[in-house]
Structure 1
């Protein structure tokens, strides 16, 4: 039984066209073929550019916003008996499986805080084994603020004014502090860049102890008011996040009003984002819409999964993605695919790509293993190139996903701002090598 008891300098390179973003489709269910996206030739030119700098343009816009909030599970109580047919399980794993959507790290924090008992006895060991018939009582702990220190971390600042900051995040950088990642994050670098003191950062649920996995979770961090060196009104905030392994554009709010405005745009899905990826194999059809709910994988708690069928609150949340093949590479062994998100669920692109049978190249968590990539590439390439391919694939250590374009309404001026950013060198290198084997436009 679950009981909810809640306590009270701009870099210029090229300009994106508004037509790159304004593409509307009917809400077709499931996976459906779609007409071609606009401005494919422009996208191709961006991808073929040798420069790694970014571009920006501004236009008028009239997007409306609506506020919302997100449950953080604090105070949720679980009182349940372990099922008779259950095998022996770790306590943290079993609780995680009974409270849909909560992170393992959050459960472990609750256990260590003495908020969990088994058969009436408090257990503070997360690896404690529970067995059939055990009576478990758990109260989910409050979110405890994390403290982030300013760090002199080089940042690729695409755009900055008094209200917003747009950053080109490198791959392998975690966005915000979390258990296991208290330093070296984007937030640490932003604090130094904005000359802010130590801050208390809201500790959000993640999928693991070691990664920032959320693609579109709303976050906020506020300045430590005990510091006399900073005004209380200075409160930059992370409005959305990218996976640790994902590179590309991310917007940060520099004050509370901007944070609220941008958060509303995300909740209404009026912020437009375009991603590109390299996939293992080629999707069929070559363009389409995936309307499949996404929920946590019951077999692997750090992974999400597509859940076909009617949405059930305990199994998944509505998720819709549009995709289009830009290039077929290496005789069909891989593809350059563009993605546009209608929703922003955790690992949405990665989970939907896996559901389509085309996991992202380098995405070991979602099936895009090196062996799978080579099994598709070797039969389609000359044997003399297999050694080169093996070396190329073995060196790629992240999901081949890049947030290439971003458009949102400026929270102060009301203008629509457009940004674009070509993929980093690791992505570009493997793309260029695959093109050498063969490339074809759909």
Structure 2
């Protein structure tokens, strides 16, 4: 029988949505749409409203609740297959992140059939009696820094940021300062410790890498409010939770793949066919620990995890040397787009790790564009020094109001400049 001790009741009051003055203006979006006409039609259709930056949502306030000492007493009902203890408890307690549930387990605050279980991956079975006490929040280990942020949307519960390329999302060994988290902590307060463990959660272009030390309290305490991640070299939209309820709600949406995430990229060569779906498991590359790989048929052997992406060519550029491609993620795995693009034989332009090298670009350009254009393109790629990938659309269910909100932001100038040069450099072959 389910028994959860009461927490303070929520008092709902309406607050106004906020928007940073640094958000793109309507005129800048018009310039973007004129420069990327096909992308503009796709973005508007994806977003569902004409003003892609403003959001008319008026979310209601949910006061921050510590939840420390919250008790769960319940019996596991019929289960199909294996269910981890941390997953089962998370499904029974709303508004508490899995990282905090895992912390409670490791601290010896969870018993199964009267016996203390401190292993988060312990499998529960039908009839098990589970008792859990939620642990205290841990202190933050990330420091606030005055770093300019491009805020697309903000209210009392969530923050949507346009992350620039080259910025790391959260502190880690080698990047203790200057991260997005450091800047957000200066801008606003965040829940003390609500990182979502990635030991079995989805990991993709934006989420935590498998080699992150997510099992430690340190990993959680340097990622306040972070539900997903964009790679250092990837620009675009990222949502941050400002309270634990919102974090848990958004984390569940990522787990269920109901978050809308759309990217655009430049590829080395053109996908064939021009649109489709690729479903190939992704796992760690056995020859390179910093790289993932699409590994056909490896799912049953445990080497990789299910991964599916949909793609569509928006425009063919430089006579077929490159293409502007839209990606929609059905799943989220570390470097999913980059690994799938490499598997398809069209690595992202500028992605040296996954085969989108300057030498590959040059071999494709040589027979299609003039020598002067080749030199300019390679110069821009050298200056850019990152994969040509941008998170252009982000949509999710607001954790407080339940309203579906969607946001879009134009690609950064360096990506737009390369697109412009590729477009001018050869005969433009438009996709019907």
TM-score range for the pair, normalised by the shorter chain length: 0.5 to 0.7
C-alpha deviation, 1:349, in angstroms: 0.2
Equivalent residue number for residue 163 of structure 1: 157
2:382 to 377, 383, 394: 394
Equivalent residue number for residue 55 of structure 1: 53
Spell out, residue by residue over 1:122-153, the C-alpha distance to the aligned partner (whole angstroms, 9 max, x if none). Answer: xxxxxxxxxxxxxxxxxxxxxx9982110001
Residues 16-35 of structure 1: matches in 2 within 5 Å? none
Equivalent residue number for residue 406 of structure 1: 394
C-alpha deviation, 1:222, in angstroms: 9.8
**Which SS does the other structure have where 1:335 is aligned?**
strand
Contact 1:247 1:424 (8 Å CA) reproduced: yes
Contact 2:278 2:308 (8 Å CA) reproduced: yes
Equivalent residue number for residue 441 of structure 1: 430
Equivalent residue number for residue 149 of structure 1: 143
C-alpha deviation, 1:394, in angstroms: 2.2
1:370 to 358, 364, 373: 358
Distance in 1 between residues matched to 2:330 and 2:198, nearest whole Å: 22
Spell out, residue by residue over 1:148-189, the C-alpha distance to the aligned partner (whole angstroms, 9 max, x if none). Answer: 110001000100000000000000111011111111111100
C-alpha deviation, 1:383, in angstroms: 2.9
Structure number with higher relative contact order (C-alpha < 8 Å, ≥ 6 residues apart): 1
2:207 to 196, 209, 216: 216
**Does 2:378 match 1:381?**
no
C-alpha deviation, 1:386, in angstroms: 3.0
Contact 1:296 1:316 (8 Å CA) reproduced: yes
Distance in 2 between residues matched to 1:152 and 1:431, nearest whole Å: 33
Equivalent residue number for residue 343 of structure 1: 331
For structure 1, the 5+ residue unaligned runs are 1-8, 16-38, 47-52, 61-65, 76-143, 207-211, 224-234
C-alpha deviation, 1:377, in angstroms: 1.1
Contact 2:278 2:310 (8 Å CA) reproduced: yes
**Which SS does the other structure have where 2:347 is aligned?**
coil
Equivalent residue number for residue 169 of structure 2: 175
Residues 57-136 of structure 1: matches in 2 within 5 Å? 57=55
- CA gap of 1:424–1:412, structure 2 versus 1, over 3 A, is same
**Does 2:292 match 1:304?**
yes
C-alpha deviation, 1:313, in angstroms: 5.1
- CA gap of 1:302–1:213, structure 2 versus 1, over 3 A, is farther
**Does 2:247 match 1:248?**
no
Contact 2:318 2:368 (8 Å CA) reproduced: yes
C-alpha deviation, 1:216, in angstroms: 2.6
**Does 2:36 match 1:42?**
no
Distance in 1 between residues matched to 2:188 and 2:332, nearest whole Å: 28
Spell out, residue by residue over 1:208-255, the C-alpha distance to the aligned partner (whole angstroms, 9 max, x if none). Answer: xxxx986234989999xxxxxxxxxxx951011111100000000000
For structure 2, the 5+ residue unaligned runs are 1-17, 28-37, 46-50, 59-87, 92-97, 107-137
Distance in 2 between residues matched to 1:200 and 1:40, nearest whole Å: 38
**Which SS does the other structure have where 1:309 is aligned?**
coil
Spell out, residue by residue over 1:236-281, the C-alpha distance to the aligned partner (whole angstroms, 9 max, x if none). Answer: 5101111110000000000000001101111111110110000110
Distance in 2 between residues matched to 1:58 and 1:285, nearest whole Å: 39
C-alpha deviation, 1:312, in angstroms: 2.7
Equivalent residue number for residue 260 of structure 1: 248
Contact 1:56 1:417 (8 Å CA) reproduced: no
C-alpha deviation, 1:322, in angstroms: 0.2
Spell out, residue by residue over 1:384-414, the C-alpha distance to the aligned partner (whole angstroms, 9 max, x if none). Answer: 4333233223222001000000110111111
The TM-score, its normalising length taken from structure 2, stands at 0.65
Distance in 2 between residues matched to 1:437 and 1:390, nearest whole Å: 12
Distance in 2 between residues matched to 1:12 and 1:170, nearest whole Å: 13
Equivalent residue number for residue 78 of structure 2: none
Distance in 1 between residues matched to 2:180 and 2:43, nearest whole Å: 29
- CA gap of 1:151–1:41, structure 2 versus 1, over 3 A, is closer
Total equivalences in the alignment: 315
Distance in 2 between residues matched to 1:195 and 1:402, nearest whole Å: 27
- CA gap of 1:262–1:428, structure 2 versus 1, over 3 A, is same
**Which SS does the other structure have where 1:147 is aligned?**
coil
Equivalent residue number for residue 190 of structure 1: 184
